[in-house]
Amino acid sequence: MFTNNDGPEEEGQEEEAHIMGPTGEKEPPLMGLVGDITEAAAQALHMSLLSYNGGKILAAKEDLEDTVDIEFFISSGGGGVNDMFAVYDLMRIVKTNRDIATFGYGRVYSAAVLLLAAGTPGKRYMAKNTRMMIHHCSSNVGGSHPEIRTNFDELKKVEDMMVEALAENSALSVGELYNIMSRNTDEYFSAADALEMGIVDKII
């Protein structure tokens, strides 16, 4: 699920994410997300991306020791959309220096779909038995009527950002994505569907 709050998911506690990242200078550029996209998961992914970008956000390509592809493995049920965008935007910056190959397996749901699609075109992969899911943004924030209205307006803005970004990184138009989401339910897709949608480039 992608949410616009830092609290637990509607159906229970957030699943603790298991993060793979660099532990030594000579290790290959691998990173991974297994579990929900939380603030802690985003922080760990940030550190991996920065490490692979010369320790800087705006590093010059010539300052990097190498430009071997970063491999990003993803198996996630989604999570906080703001945390996702923090990772997504850093991926966009790092991709100016080195390619990021993304690999989806197991499940790639909600906000995790955009991280998968954000890999370098031609280098986005999905295991053949992976399931993908797209749905509306959701929030479990309560409060007074003005607070609920403010949260609703923000939720709509964030959802628009999500849809526009996914359209930029796939073969789907903004209208097609809203049509999928207009069914007001979780919409599940196969790896073959993801390939047809242009979210991935190859099934493995």
Residue with tokens 């592809």: 69
**Alpha carbon of residue 160 to chain centroid:** 15
Distance in angstroms (rounded) separating the CA atoms of residues 180 and 44 = 32
Distance in angstroms (rounded) separating the CA atoms of residues 29 and 142 = 42
**Which of the residues 135, 136, 139, 170 is marked catalytic?**
135
Distance in angstroms (rounded) separating the CA atoms of residues 157 and 13 = 25
| 135 annotated active-site | yes
What angle is formed at CA 8 by the lines to CA 169 and CA 190, rounded to 5 degrees? Answer: 40
**Which of the residues 110, 136, 139, 170 is marked catalytic?**
110
| 46 annotated active-site | no
Distance in angstroms (rounded) separating the CA atoms of residues 177 and 163 = 7
Active-site positions read: 110, 135
